[in-house]
Amino acid sequence: MALYPFQPLKLYDLTVADLYTSVARRNPQHELVQIIEEPTDEDGTDIQTRYNWQTVLQHAQNAARDLADRSGRQARRPGDDLIVVGMVGTNGYDYYVNLLACALNRWTVRIILFTYVN
């Protein structure tokens, strides 16, 4: 299996954290996230923010350290008991980064999403 435009990866023995780290190291400048927000400028232009693999991984690594420090639970090592955490949120980049941060800490995440309807 190939992850375009990357070289083939052996996915059967990688965790999510290993996969993200491996891909980010192979092509750190490749765009991973594009955020399009509703127009706030007078001309109606959409505001776009783009992040590459390296930046997203840096944000997630910082969040992983912060979550570990705040919770008092360090990153799980192979053979350690499972650490299960709950994440409550809606969506967005911060939610994505924190979800990835939990994966980097090798924590098991139970996701609870909220949808707002007006």
Q: Per-residue confidence of the chain (118 residues) as pLDDT tens digits? A: 444 555 666 667 778 888 888 888 888 999 888 887 776 667 666 667 889 999 999 999 999 999 999 999 999 988 899 999 988 877 788 989 999 999 999 999 888 776 666 5
For residues 46 and 39, is the Cβ–Cβ distance under 8 A? yes
The Cα–Cα gap between 59 and 98 comes to 9
Separation CA 89–CA 96 (nearest Å): 10
Q: How far apart are CA 60 and CA 54, in angstroms?
A: 10
Alpha carbon distance 116, 38 (integer Å)? 17
Cα–Cα distances in angstroms (integers) from residue 65 to residues 34, 43, 86, 99, 100, in the given order: 24, 40, 17, 13, 12
Domain residue limits, the chain: 11-38+46-113
Q: Hey, what CATH topology would domain 11-38+46-113 get?
A: Rossmann fold (3.40.50)
- Strands, E assignment, the chain: 31-37, 47-52, 84-89, 108-113
Beta strands in 30-100 (DSSP E): 31-37, 47-52, 84-89
pTM score of the predicted model: 0.76
pLDDT of residue 44: 65
